[in-house]
A and B are shown apart, each in its own frame.
Chain A
Amino acid sequence: MRHVVTKAHVLDVKPLTEPVLLILTSLADQPRHGYALIQDIESLSGGRVRLSTGTLFGALRRLLEDGWIERFEQEDTSRQKQAYRLTAAGRKQLQLELDRMKQLTRAGIARLRASEA
């Protein structure tokens, strides 16, 4: 049987941009609101990446559109505390990306070792 690779499948395995990867990773353990995401991403990246609000909310809009995250209102908070959480599709994408990176890391390390030997 012939397998047809559709555009959707190709898009599914497209590497994520760094801000998107960091946002998904930040939301993997718990929902967060905008400013909490900025702080957590800075801490996750060891202070290397500090997302500006323009970059963060642009990425959040695209992730909402893709259905990888969802927005909800946290109880006892104002509209300013709209929070974001991963959807099942977002979790799957993060897992796929981490697997891809793991495989790449393994291959890279193996080649480095081979060249040193």
Chain B
Amino acid sequence: MKRAYGILLRLYPRDYRAMFATEMSSAFEKASAERRQGRSVYARFALAELMALTMGAGAEWIAKLTTDSSVRGRSLPDRLLMRPPGVSWDAHYAGAFPSVPEEVSQAQERTELLVKRIIHAISQHDFTGARRYSDEERQARASLRSLRQKYQIGDTGGD
């Protein structure tokens, strides 16, 4: 039952899981222990829990897709925005997400740098430069995509 609960929890959006999954599992285990008074009582409890979890996952995805990120951030802070200055991406997320190979993180940094250069070039009205950086950024993004495929890493920008 605990396993089924854990599997259904994975249906929830990642930011929701990061915030509530541990608490939910803990509350479920306690409630589960309390309800072991008879087969029918436990079966009813288990069915209600699993159904609510499935419907809840659907509701949370709808909420995630229809709510502005600034509003959603009130209940589920974007941990990407909470990385303290000077702390590397890998160090900050150690344990929360699988570690990223050096090759991938370098390609990611290069892509981010090129985006900054495009923005800077546009702000300086250097449209020729912006176009050049944009071409480079496209290539860098393609290379990053292939590296992610090689290491079987999902896109970290969303769920």
Contacts and interface: CB of A to CB of B under 8 A. Distances in A.
Given A53-B31, A53-B49, A54-B55, A80 B23 contact: yes
- Interface SS, B side: helix
Range of interface residues on chain A?
Answer: 20 to 34
B53 A52 contact: yes
A113 to B, nearest CB: 39
A74 interface: no
A65 B71 contact: yes
Interface residues of B, number: 29
A20 interface: no
A57 B20 contact: yes
Contacts of B55: 54
Contacts, number: 67
A6 B24 CA distance: 37
Interface stretch (B72-80, B93-101, B111-119): B72-80
Given A35-B31, A38-B27, A79-B22, A53 B53 contact: yes
A53 B22 contact: no
A35 B20 contact: no
Contact of A57 (B31, B56, B72, B74): B56
A8 to B, nearest CB: 13
- Interface SS, A side: helix
Interface in B23-71: 23-24, 26-28, 30-31, 48-49, 51-57, 59-60, 63, 67, 71
B49 A52 contact: yes
A52 B48 contact: yes
| Nearest 5 interchain pairs by C-beta | A54-B52, A54-B56, A64-B75, A52-B52, A65-B75
